[in-house]
Structure 1
Amino acid sequence: MTQSIVVQVGQCGNQVGCRFWDLVLREHAHVNQMGVYDEALSSFFRNVDQRRGADSTGSRITALKARAVLVDMEEGVLAEILQGPLRSLFSSTQLISDVSGSGNNWAVGHHTYGLVYREQIVDQVRKAAEHCDCLQCFFLIHSMGGGTGSGLGTFVLKLLEDEFPEVCRIVTSVYPTAEDDVITSPYNSVLAMKELTEHADCVLPVDNQSLVDIVGKIQHMSNTGKLGCAIKKDCTIISGQGGVVKVEKPFDAMNNIVANLLLNITSSARFEGSLNMDLNEIAMNLVPFPRLHYLVSSLTPLYTLADVNIPPRRLRPTLPFVPWNQEGWKTSLCSVPPVCHTHSLLALANNTCVKSTFFELRECFVKLYRRKAHLHHYLAVDGMELAEFNEALSSISALIEEYTHLESPLMPNAPRLTIAT
């Protein structure tokens, strides 16, 4: 059995991460009612007490520790974790924090805090890796609009590549809306995009506005009874209640959607199935060009169905594929559905539709950059240079151009890559 390590950076990254740990514990408790430390649990947890129980199948679960490193330059969220119901999952050394935050400034997170906390972060990641028998994947969770998630998050991504170049790096990035209340979020997002393009194996972009719309729509349907008995009133996917954490907090419903995305991606790595898939196969099958590794995710159901059993429909015949990659398809079947569900379907697609998101982000960046607005906050940070803004703008422009080229009608007749012999 392989293991994975979750690295949570910034307020959003840690809040989403905590929802993931809450849901994954609930799922394992539902499946593993004997309380035995088995291979499924070992994929994301280690048992720090290896005393054998009466059961011959394995060690009794006495003290689980998450295979995780939690980083935030503000103390609030991490302090809540240490005082909350998930506190036993983490040792205090797994949590790395400061007091002042990054001030919504990518440069502070990337250059200032990256330099200060580099060795401490590397040390904790190495310790987590040493507890793995077969480390397969790093999951990095962060947001793009603030300073710590974007700046320090992408700094950590580069560290993971430097220290563990052979280990797959899958990044879940929460993108801000165009009306984000952080005025510098276009700067932070585009600067972070350059790092994601260069150092990640796969990126799962999550649009914050889409999360808001999904939660609002399903809550409206649930409250009005529009779909009759199809939706249960207490939707475990949308609601933040249930599991270890009993009280719902702001953004929990949105964070639960992202956490369920991670839950579904990792289910095949945690449980047996008729057609399992290694996590590193995602990049192998879905990323034909190294820079174009932004995968669009679709998940169903997003709410708990009441007495409705609809098996997932096979999507392959309905999807258009580019002529030069008709077999770009991978299926994985896991025998364990999420708690309270009879089935669940996750689709990941490498689609040129992400270009529109990047285009809008670039436009917001250019509006600020054309007037050199707020640049002095960034250039006052040691190690930050104006050239980084130009490089980031060039990087996202090149990315957009690559996607545009691929969706061009002339693309099927374009010259193929030649392999040197």
Structure 2
Amino acid sequence: MTQSVVVQVGQCGNQIGCCFWDLALREHATVNKNGIYDESLSSFFRNVDARVGGGDADISKGKICSLKARAVLIDMEEGVVNEILQGPLRDVFDSKQLITDVSGSGNNWAVGHKVFGCQYRERIMEKLRKTAEHCDCLQCFFVIHSMGGGTGSGLGTFVLNVLEEEFPEVYRLVTSVYPSGEDDVITSPYNSVLAMKELNEHADCVLPIENASLFDIVSKINQIQSGMPGTTVKQRSLITSSEGGIKKHQEKPFDTMNNIVANLLLNLTSSARFEGSLNMDLNEISMNLVPFPQLHYLVSSLTPLYTLADVNVPPRRLDQMFSDAFSKDHQLIRADPKHNLYLACALMVRGNVHVSDLRRNIERLKPSLQFVSWNQEGWKTSLCSIPPVGHSHSLLALANNTCVKPTFMELRERFLRLFKKKAHLHHYLQVEGMEESCFTEAILSLTSLIEEYNQLDATKGTPMQEPPRLTIAM
């Protein structure tokens, strides 16, 4: 069994990570009712025997002593991490897994990347190495961060660089939360574009998530809750519940938004945590979905997004679940993949679903989807027999699709509106090692990425003998 390590950076990264660990524990508790430490649990948790100085307990003896998450929590403001340590998950983490400061990064990528990066480099490397040493077969690092703030964007991408240097053979999968156009952090376009350059160069795969899209999904769930007579969303539904980690007196939209992203990670890692008739190795995502190194941004969609509490309402048909996964209403960025070009697509199914159901739906949907001519059969599939808590089945679709381009183009426009006026630039340039050329290089990197997608879009409907010769990232 392989193991993975989750690296949570910044307020957003730690809040999503907290939801992930809470929901993962609930899933494992549902499956493993006897509380026996097994290979499934070992993929993301250590079994620590407190009686022998905190060393790993013998897995052959089975019984749980104390579960510790395979995680490193980093934030330059200690508030969120302190809330986690005082909440229901306090025993899942210890001080050896945490790096915090009190000052914060001031919504400045340069402070997070260059100031705190240099200041905490050795401590970050030490935490990562010790966490990796507790893995028998380390397969993947999951980095969770936001793009708009200073710590998430700056220190988050710094951590990515450290991972590439220290563990070059270990897969780096990044979940990046992008700010909306109405974001209250005025410097978020700078932070996001500077971070994008690092993601282009140092990530194996990036799952971009837009706050605006998450908010749209939460609004739809609320409409269903209030708009269908006699029908409500289950309060203990996996998506809408926020019982773990950080408790609030009143649930806020961000709680549900964080749960949606956490559920994305649960589905993504289900094959690594549970058995199935058609398991997908995490490394296969990059191998099968990224034909060109720089085009490693995967659009994700999740279905179902809620569970109806009224048992008299018939569950959605399985075929509808597959249709929803390709609908723009279920995408975690504001995009419509059906009207754009697919390079490849992965379908990760959980629950009582048969291979025949999977094949039938792929054949049914294929005529409505545009794939590049040189990869018409670019499908990757997995089947995990364990459904999410509260659902009979679920589907995560990952698409390498040119529909991500408008998100990047909008980000570029927001960046240029600030940069042309040199607005707020002095906050960055006063940081040692930060020059105006850093901004120029970052926007050129983003423009180059957009041009790669433009080249692919230009081939829509045109048969090709070979793939277009895109720029290869070195």
Q: Do Structure 1 and Structure 2 share a fold, with TM-score over 0.5?
A: yes
Letter in 2 for 1:302: L
Aligned residue for 1:281? 284
* Alignment deviations for residues 51-75 of structure 1 (CA, whole Å, 9 cap, x no partner): 9xxxx97421120000000000001
Aligned residues: 414
Aligned residue for 1:160? 163
Aligned residue for 1:373? 423
Aligned Cα root-mean-square deviation (Å)? 2.0
**Is residue 330 from structure 1 mapped to residue 380 from structure 2 by the alignment?**
yes
Q: 256-265 or 320-329: which moved more? A: 320-329
| Contact 2:275-2:385 at 8 Å conserved across structures | yes
State the distance in 1 between where 2:149 and 2:64 align: 38
The match for 2:411 among 354, 361, 365 is: 361
Aligned residue for 1:393? 443
| Contact 1:12-1:142 at 8 Å conserved across structures | yes
Matches within 5 A, 1:74-93: 74-93=77-96
Matches within 5 A, 1:237-276: 237-242=238-243, 247=248, 249-250=251-252, 251-276=254-279
Aligned residue for 2:97? 94
Please, which runs of 5 or more residues in structure 1 have no aligned partner?
Answer: none
Q: 311-320 or 85-94: which moved more? A: 311-320
Instruction: Give 1:224 deviation, angstroms.
Output: 2.5
Aligned residue for 2:43? 43
Aligned residue for 1:316? 362
Change (3 A) 1:344 1:211: same
* Alignment deviations for residues 283-329 of structure 1 (CA, whole Å, 9 cap, x no partner): 00100000000000010011113444432444423232111111211
| Contact 2:239-2:263 at 8 Å conserved across structures | no
The match for 1:340 among 382, 385, 390 is: 390
Instruction: Give 1:243 deviation, angstroms.
Output: 5.2
Q: Secondary structure at the match of 2:140?
A: strand
Instruction: Give 1:233 deviation, angstroms.
Output: 4.2
* Alignment deviations for residues 355-399 of structure 1 (CA, whole Å, 9 cap, x no partner): 000000000000000011111000000111111100000000000
State the distance in 2 between where 1:149 and 1:343 align: 33
Aligned residue for 2:307? 304
State the distance in 2 between where 1:237 and 1:29 align: 14
State the distance in 1 between where 2:448 and 2:432 align: 28
Q: 317-326 or 202-211: which moved more? A: 317-326
Please, which runs of 5 or more residues in structure 2 have no aligned partner?
Answer: 52-58, 323-357, 470-474
**Is residue 21 from structure 1 mapped to residue 21 from structure 2 by the alignment?**
yes
The match for 1:145 among 141, 144, 148 is: 148
Change (3 A) 1:244 1:140: closer
| Contact 1:9-1:152 at 8 Å conserved across structures | yes
Change (3 A) 1:50 1:71: closer
State the distance in 1 between where 2:247 and 2:24 align: 15
**Is residue 188 from structure 1 mapped to residue 191 from structure 2 by the alignment?**
yes
Aligned residue for 1:5? 5
Q: Secondary structure at the match of 1:155?
A: helix
Letter in 1 for 2:289: L
Q: Secondary structure at the match of 1:401?
A: helix
The percent identity for this pair of structures is: 69
* Alignment deviations for residues 182-238 of structure 1 (CA, whole Å, 9 cap, x no partner): 000000000000000110000000000111111111112112226x54x53425234
State the distance in 1 between where 2:210 and 2:247 align: 26
State the distance in 2 between where 1:387 and 1:57 align: 56
Q: Secondary structure at the match of 1:344?
A: strand
Aligned residue for 2:347? none
Instruction: Give 1:126 deviation, angstroms.
Output: 0.4
| Contact 2:239-2:256 at 8 Å conserved across structures | yes
State the distance in 2 between where 1:141 and 1:165 align: 19
Change (3 A) 1:210 1:98: same
Aligned residue for 2:73? 70
Letter in 1 for 2:106: G
Instruction: Give 1:84 deviation, angstroms.
Output: 1.1
Letter in 2 for 1:402: E
| Contact 1:142-1:150 at 8 Å conserved across structures | yes
Change (3 A) 1:416 1:409: closer
Q: Secondary structure at the match of 2:212?
A: helix
Q: Secondary structure at the match of 1:333?
A: strand
Change (3 A) 1:325 1:356: same
Q: 233-242 or 277-286: which moved more? A: 233-242
Matches within 5 A, 1:169-188: 169-188=172-191
Change (3 A) 1:15 1:244: closer
